[in-house]
Structure 1
Amino acid sequence: MSAFYGPPKPDEDMIPVIHHAINRGITFLDTSDVYGPFINEILLGKALKGGMQERVELATKFGVIIKDGKFEVRGDPAYVRAACEGSLKRLEVDCIDLYYQHRIDTRLPIEVTMGELKKLVEEGKIKYIGLSEASASTIRRAHAVHPITAVQLEWSLWARDAEEDIIPTCRELGIGIVAYSPLGRGFLSLGAKVAENLSNDDYRKTLPRFQPENIEHNNILFERVKEIATRKGCTTSQLALAWVHHQGDDVCPIPGTTKIGNLDQNIGALSLTLTPEEMAELESIASAVAIKSDRFQGTSLTWKASDTPLLASWKA
C-alpha cells in the first residue's frame, strides 16, 4: 500500500480496504516503519481508530533505514528504543502486539538487540518479539534471551530455502512462522506478465528473478501451477496461498493487496482443500522447475538467514 510496489496509494483508497479486511475476519495486520518510510504506520493509525484496533493483532518492525537512497540495518539498543517509541506514536497505540527485527544487524550479537527488546516487553511497550530473515542459529540465540513468538520469512512455491533448517528450528522451539510474499511478489498471480507494467519506482524491477533473462524461465513454474488451478477451478493465487496455508496451523501467510477484489480472492484460498497428492504435485513442480536466480542481489544478500557475531568474542 505504501512502499516498494510503486508510489504510495491514497489513504482514502486504502482505509476502506483495511476496514473490509477486518470486517471479513482478518485479525492480523503487518506493517513496518520502513514502509514509506513511516507512511504505512500512519495509515494504519488512522484506519484503526474507533475501536478497530481492538479487533486485530498489530505487528510492526524496526531495523531498516533508508539513508541517501541506500538501506542500512541497525539493531543497537538506543536505536531499537527510539524506533519503538516512533512506531507507538505513528500507530497511535500504547503497546505493539508483535514487534519484529525487520532485518538482522550482522555487526553486533543478537543478544545485544534482544536485551533491549526484552526491556520493552517488561515495560509494556510491546507484547511479543519477532525476527525476520534470521538464521537458525540466530533464532536459537535470540530465543535463549527471551522467547521469540514469530519468525517472518519468505515462503512460497518459488521461495523454499527456509524449509531446510529455519522452519524446522522454529517448530522445534514452538515459534510461529509468518510467510511474507506468499504470492511471490505477484509472480504467482500473473506469471511473467507481472513485470510488464511495473512503474519505474517499483522495487521488483531491481530483483534478479524479475529480470528478462530469468523471468521467462521462471514462468514455467507459473504455467504448471496454472494448469492445476484450472483443474481445481480456482486462481493461481488461491492455489499458491492454499499451499502455504496447508503447511500447518503454525503458519500465517501475509499476502499484500491494494484492492478489495483481490483481498476477497485471497480470503477464498481458505476454502480450498488440497489433498496430499496435490501438495506433493505442487512441490514436485516447484523442485523440478528450479527457480532461476536468487531472491535478493548485491548487499541485500546479507538479508537472507542472517548470522551475528558471538557475544563472547564481540567488542562494542
Structure 2
Amino acid sequence: MTFGHFPGARKPVARILYGTARKEIMLGGRSAFRLLDEVADVGATSIETARAYPGSERTIGRWMRERGNRESVVIVTKGAHGRGRKGRVTPADIRSDVATSLKQLGTDRVEVYLLHRDDPNQPVGPIVEVLNELHVEGRIGAFGGSNWTHERIQSANQYALEHGLVPFAASSPNFGLAEQVEAAWDGVLTISGPSNVDAREWYACNDMPIVAWSSMGRGFFSGRIKSDHPNEAKKLLDGAARRGFAHPTNFERLERVEKVADEKGYSVAQIALAWVLNQPLDVYPVVSASSGRRMQQNIDALGIRLTPNELSYLDLARAAAL
C-alpha cells in the first residue's frame, strides 16, 4: 500500500480506501469483523464510511474497540446527508451528525470528515465556520465535501481565505473510467466523462485530494460483467449501477479494458482501477472488496503503469492503443 497526505488529517491516508457500504458490514457481527480483519491484514486500514450507511459506523467502532487498533486505522466518514429532497447542510445538522458519528465509532476524532451532500441554497460561510469550530475542538481533522461542485468548493475556500479559516482539504465526487451517464442517486455529482474536463482541471490545478466513490462503476468493472453480454450484465448490477453505468458507452470502455487486461496479464478490475490511479490527480479510489484476497488484488493495481496512449484508448479518446 502507498499513502498520501490530507492537510489536517494527522495520519497518512492509504491511496486505496476500503468502502463499508456493504450489507455484511452494515449488519455487523462476526462475519463483518472477519472481513475487516482480512482487509486490514493486507494493508487496507483507511476506511470509508458514512452516517447514511446504516450500522456501518457502529460495526467499525465495535471492531476497533475489540481489536484495540484505533491508532492504526484512518477513518473517513460523511454526514449531513439530506432526507428525500430536504437538505441538511446546516451548522446544527453538521454538529449533530459529527456527534453521532463519533459516538457510533467510539472515538473522539475522525481523520477526515466530508459533507455527504450539498445544499446550494445554504451560504458557504456558516458551513465553513462550523467545520472550523469542529476542527479546532479536535473532533475532525481534514474536512471537505462529497458531491459538491468544484465551484461551490472554490466559494467555500475563498470564504475561508478571506476570514482566516481553514479551507476544504478534500472532495468526494464520483470518479472512474465508467462515465456516470445518469445520476445513480439523487444529489450526487460526477467528474467522470468528457463533459467534466473543466472539473478535473480544477482539481489538478488545486492539487486537492479526491476520495473517488464508485471508482469501479459500482461493480461494472468487477470482472463479473462481460462486454458482449449487456443484457445479462444488467441483471447482475443493482439499480444504482444500472442507472449510472450500464450504458453503451461504458460497455465499449469495458470491451477495451478486457483487451488491455488480456494483453498485460491483469484482471479487468485491476486495469480499470489502474486507469484511475494513473490519472494526473491526487485520487484515492474507494473500493469495497468481498475478501482480503480481492482487496490485495486491488492494492496490486498500484503497481500497474499505463501509458498516455493506453489511458486515452481505454477512455474512448483514441481509436487504438499504440
Indicate the TM-score class for this superposition, using the shorter chain for normalisation: 0.7 to 0.9
**Residue of structure 2 equivalent to 1:261:** 293
**How far did residue 208 of structure 1 move?**
4.9
Deviations 1:107-160 (A, max 9, x none): 211222121111101111111112112112211111232322111111111232
C-alpha change, 1:2 and 1:234, in structure 2 (3 Å) is closer
**How far did residue 234 of structure 1 move?**
0.8
Q: How high is the TM-score relative to the length of structure 1?
A: 0.78
Task: Give runs of aligned pairs for residues 228-243 of structure 1, distance below 5 A.
Answer: 228-243=260-275
Any unmatched runs of 5+ in structure 1?
289-316
C-alpha change, 1:104 and 1:242, in structure 2 (3 Å) is same
Q: Structure 2: how far apart are the matches of 1:6 and 1:56?
A: 19
Higher mean displacement: 53-62 or 242-251 = 242-251
Q: How high is the TM-score relative to the length of structure 2?
A: 0.77
Secondary structure at the counterpart of residue 238 of structure 1: helix
Q: Structure 2: how far apart are the matches of 1:244 and 1:187?
A: 14
Secondary structure at the counterpart of residue 290 of structure 2: coil
C-alpha change, 1:3 and 1:208, in structure 2 (3 Å) is same
2:254 to 219, 222, 230: 222
The percent identity for this pair of structures is: 29
Q: Are 1:104 and 2:121 counterparts?
A: no
8 A contact 1:63–1:105 mirrored in 2: no
Q: Are 1:16 and 2:46 counterparts?
A: no
Task: Give runs of aligned pairs for residues 179-194 of structure 1, distance below 5 A.
Answer: 179-189=212-222, 190-191=224-225, 192=230, 193-194=232-233
C-alpha change, 1:46 and 1:241, in structure 2 (3 Å) is same
**Residue of structure 1 equivalent to 2:172:** 152
C-alpha change, 1:136 and 1:184, in structure 2 (3 Å) is same
C-alpha change, 1:208 and 1:164, in structure 2 (3 Å) is closer
1:59 to 64, 76, 82: 76
Secondary structure at the counterpart of residue 288 of structure 2: coil
Q: Structure 2: how far apart are the matches of 1:131 and 1:109?
A: 14
2:235 to 166, 172, 196: 196
Structure with more of its chain in helix, by fraction: 1
**How far did residue 194 of structure 1 move?**
4.4
1:165 to 182, 198, 202: 198
8 A contact 1:221–1:286 mirrored in 2: no
1:119 to 111, 117, 133: 133
C-alpha change, 1:25 and 1:48, in structure 2 (3 Å) is same
C-alpha change, 1:209 and 1:251, in structure 2 (3 Å) is closer
8 A contact 2:216–2:273 mirrored in 1: yes
Q: Structure 2: how far apart are the matches of 1:258 and 1:73?
A: 33
8 A contact 1:157–1:286 mirrored in 2: no
Q: Structure 2: how far apart are the matches of 1:174 and 1:7?
A: 32
Q: C-alpha root-mean-square deviation of aligned residues, in Å?
A: 2.6
Deviations 1:49-77 (A, max 9, x none): 233221122110112144xxx36431111
2:284 to 240, 252, 255: 252
C-alpha change, 1:286 and 1:87, in structure 2 (3 Å) is farther
C-alpha change, 1:80 and 1:51, in structure 2 (3 Å) is same
**How far did residue 261 of structure 1 move?**
3.3
8 A contact 1:99–1:126 mirrored in 2: yes
Q: Structure 2: how far apart are the matches of 1:8 and 1:31?
A: 10
C-alpha change, 1:10 and 1:43, in structure 2 (3 Å) is closer
**How far did residue 163 of structure 1 move?**
4.7
Secondary structure at the counterpart of residue 187 of structure 1: coil
2:157 to 143, 153, 161: 143
Deviations 1:24-56 (A, max 9, x none): 1223211100012xx111111122223322112
